[in-house]
Amino acid sequence: MFFNHILKLSQLLCLVVSMFLMLPTAQAQAEIPTYLLDQDEHLVVNYLHRLVDNPKEPLNLISDLANGEWRKIHLTNGDLLIMPGNNWFAFKLKNNDKEAKQVYLEIANQVRMSNSQLYILDRLQRMQQISLVLRRSNNRSSIITIEPYSQVTLYLTISSETQLRSRVMIYPAKAYLAESNTLNFHQGLAIGGLLCLSIALMLLFFATGDKPIFILFGYFLSNTLMLSAMLGFNLFYLWPNLPELIGIELPLLTAASAIFLLIFTSQLFNLKSNFNIVYQVIRVCFWGLLLYMPLSIQLSVVDNINISMGVYALILLSLIVLGLYLYQKACRLALLFSFVMFVQLAFVLIVIGSVNWFDIGFVAHRNFLYSLIFWLNGLLVIFIMSRQYRYQIGDKQKAQRQALASAVASERAQEELLRLQTQGQEELEERVQERTLELNIALQELEEANHELEQKNTLDELTGLFNRRFYDQKILAEYRRSKRNLTPLSLVLIDIDHFKAVNDTYGHLAGDQCLVWIGQHIKQSLKRSTDMAFRYGGEEFCLILPDTDSKGAVVLAEALRESIVKQACSYKEIDIPLTISNGICTYQQQDDVLPEQIFAGADKALYQAKHDGRNQTQECKNVLE
């Protein structure tokens, strides 16, 4: 709807401009211009045309040449503005030679015209209709023979459903042949070059198996077919007796080109993995274009041109916005991609605005303009792909350099390790005997512990922690190991704050649930297999932390306390908030310190924590006090 409004506005503007240009000669008597056939080049001259419908027969037009309905205009390069409805043109051809001459009358952009007819009035005032044959450049031409020393008057009527640009040229035989050869060469160069590029991409895909290259092959192949159709190699040229084929390939090839462009964009920036929402939007556009392709067959040529050009311009505008968005996300090639899409959008707008709608005079150079646009577009897309491969090669080289540096560092580390192993081998041999003796002692202690474990249960049945009996054994063993290895040993006493109030308020079953819940938190807080947790009695718990200094013990106890404070114990959908107080004592190889004194120090620190307000951790500074 938006593009239809723009089209109608442009038509109205061109009509106003044309009326303005015709005002100076509105009252002048029209005289049909005469063109002499004594030159070998094509004739580009003034034409008489009328922009209103005329129901009269062609023979009756001769008597109307003197009235004010005809207007004389001058158009550059033969470019002609066709208005909606019937358009009439009249001019004379004169042969002053003694031999008969043949000339070629050619009308451009015939695919978009609903009807065109040519009438010739000879010197005997006889009117005859001449057929117009479709050429592969979307033009229709006719051969006209003019007898020696005579002239004919040509009446050309063109019917169109919409405003468009056309071109009427008169060629002598020699000039027509030269123009045909030049046209064939330029079209072959443009279409053949794009086709060769498409085939090269296909072969490169077979060699590398790279999916983006195959997508580019499809994109360039669809563009090659689109350029061929726009230059005249279309289905209607192959089957001129089937008018329903007029313009049928343009929406199909435009949609195919847009589909390949969307897939290429998705692959270029890996949208499926990095920007899934954008990828889903592109999928919707993909299926929408696929749905439009069969529906376009039912539309008219004018509607297909407007819709396909509008949709393609909208997709390019969306890709420009997408490129700028990806540039904000620091994606490589995003800014270059936006620039290339902007150039493509400018090309599309030039084709829409300058060639199809406005009276700017590009019809004479339309083939060259189309070829230039498609080739520049192809080169820019290839440039994006080459930049991507350059980045990929740079990333690969960078990874190789990093791998080489890592290999060198690994080799140096192995050499240093070998040196250290050689240096420490003697020290290791000296310690083997000492460690063997310690191992024997440890094995003897382990056997004694296993013998006791077989006789007594070492676990607390409620919480799953070790019980008080096992604590008495392990504290002594760990004390000896700490003293033997000269390593620190920390003891943490834990007490649940106001636990009696929990039992009195919620019952002993709730209290048991709280003990189990606290026991689970204690288990989760222990990260090493050597750390042990015990239920010392009632609501008191104890942690033995070998090889742990006071700082490490404080960190562990505080982490446990904070995890309990953050959430409440749930019992029958009732949240019971709990807090704990911690007392810590660390054995640092002080003289005359026994395990009982370590426990007493931790108990003293626990008492201090409760005295200072509970829900905190206190540390015993001097175990001998």
Among all residues, which ones are annotated catalytic? Answer: 539
Q: Per the structure block, which two tokens stand in for 52?
A: 């209103």
Contact at 8 Å (CB) between 121 and 153? yes
How far apart are alpha carbons 320 and 313 in whole angstroms? 11
The answer for 565, left when phi > 0, alpha when psi is -120 to 50, beta otherwise, is alpha
Angle (CA) 587-589-595 rounded to 5° is 50
| DSSP bridge pairs for 581 | 495
How far apart are alpha carbons 372 and 188 in whole angstroms? 13
Q: Per the structure block, which two tokens stand in for 521?
A: 């938190």
The packing angle between helices 211-230 and 173-208, to 10°, is 170
How far apart are alpha carbons 258 and 97 in whole angstroms? 55
The packing angle between helices 499-506 and 508-525, to 10°, is 140
Torsion of CA 323, 327, 329, 332, to 10 degrees: 100
**Closest C-alpha among 3, 404, 375, 344 to residue 194:** 375
Contact at 8 Å (CB) between 229 and 249? yes
Runs of H (alpha helix) within 101-210: 173-208
Provide the pairing of β-strand 85-95 with 34-36. Answer: parallel
How far apart are alpha carbons 499 and 481 in whole angstroms? 35
